[in-house]
Amino acid sequence: GTYSGVIRGVLRKSAGHSCNALAAEGGLPEGEAFKGGTVIARFGDGSTLGYRVEGIVSEGDISHILLREDPGLEMYKGGARHLFCP
């Protein structure tokens, strides 16, 4: 199936976090059901980036979509920026 939601944060090992992940609103199924799948991030300008999924870990109403690689993104108030092209 297809899920959609809003990304509220980005976690990067290279920035000191314990994992590489996109923090999304809503309840996604936890575990490895999506392992090997692809999450597509769509930006305000219509551009997209795809990432390989390792699993899902939920914390309250936020689902951390664990990624195989560094997402190469940084979020700030009002937007996000690409740090590099993964």
Tens digits of residue pLDDT in 72-81: 999 888 888 8
pTM above 0.75, yes or no: yes
C-alpha torsion sign, points 49, 53, 56, 57: negative
Residue 51 lies in a domain: yes
Residue type (1 letter), 81: R
Residue 46: which domain range?
7-70
pLDDT band for position 71 (cuts 50, 70, 90): very high
- 17-65, pLDDT tens digit by residue? 999 999 999 888 899 989 999 999 998 889 899 999 999 999 889 999 9
CB 15 within 8 A of CB 70: no
pLDDT at 8: 93
Residue 26 lies in a domain: yes
Average pLDDT over residues 3-29: 93
Residue 81 lies in a domain: no
Residue 83 lies in a domain: no
> Per the structure, how many domains does the chain have?
1
Residue 82 lies in a domain: no
pLDDT at 14: 95
Residue type (1 letter), 72: G
